[in-house]
Amino acid sequence: MASSSSNLISLKTSDGTVFKVERALAKTMKTVQAIIEEADANIYMIPIHNVFSHHMDMIIDYYKLSVAGKSKEFSVEKLDNDELKDFLLAVHYLNMEDLFEVLTQAVADRLEKKSVGYVRKYFGIENDFTPEEYAAIRKKNDWAFKGDDIEPEEDEEKQEE
């Protein structure tokens, strides 16, 4: 089945599932769009690495909502932190502007009032400050760590792991 004569584009995810999506949806994926434009002949199937079928399900949900003018109803609340990061990477790979905005904002919202320790765990980052350096930065910016709504920091000793 040649994809050029229909309005559907076939996308194959990393886990082997084929999704037939509307051309308009494929257009929101700049990476896919570039592949289509670069191909001399018509492509039957476009493989999308790093993207799994559960990602595509959510992408299609978002697309349907935004076509209906209801993109604000799209929610990633049910995703845990790793799932959200994972989805963000997939959308980043596909280079989808609107959805990328939504997801980066969702991650930012989750991090906003969290402690430094939480953020390190979230991104898998090691603390490379010495205790003295860390203490100096904390002292200088003490105001930012205060507030009823902010998660308290762990003790300095716990930072060295």
List of residues contacting other proteins (CB under 8 A): 14-15, 50, 52, 54, 82, 85-86, 88-89, 92, 100, 104-105, 107-108, 111-113, 116, 119-120, 123-129, 134, 137-138, 140-141, 143-147, 150
- Closest distance to other proteins from the beta carbon of 145 (Å): 6
- Closest distance to other proteins from the beta carbon of 68 (Å): 25
Q: What's the Cα-to-Cα distance from 34 to each of 28, 29, 43, 95, 127, rounded to whole Å?
A: 11, 9, 12, 10, 39
- Closest distance to other proteins from the beta carbon of 158 (Å): 14
Closer CB to other proteins, 43 or 111, in the complex: 111
Q: What's the Cα-to-Cα distance from 152 to each of 69, 107, 116, 156, rounded to whole Å?
A: 40, 20, 9, 12
- Closest distance to other proteins from the beta carbon of 156 (Å): 11
For residues 142 and 132, give the distance between their C-alpha atoms in angstroms, rounded to a whole number. 15
- Looking up tokens 């994972």 gives 86
- Closest distance to other proteins from the beta carbon of 109 (Å): 8
Closer CB to other proteins, 9 or 79, in the complex: 79
Q: In what helix (H) or strand (E) does residue 48 lie, and over which residues does it extend? A: strand 46-48
Terminal Cα distance for the chain, rounded: 56
For residue 142, give the DSSP letter: G
Closer CB to other proteins, 22 or 86, in the complex: 86
Closer CB to other proteins, 38 or 148, in the complex: 148
Whether the Cβ atoms of residue 104 and residue 42 lie closer than 8 Å to each other: no
Closer CB to other proteins, 50 or 75, in the complex: 50
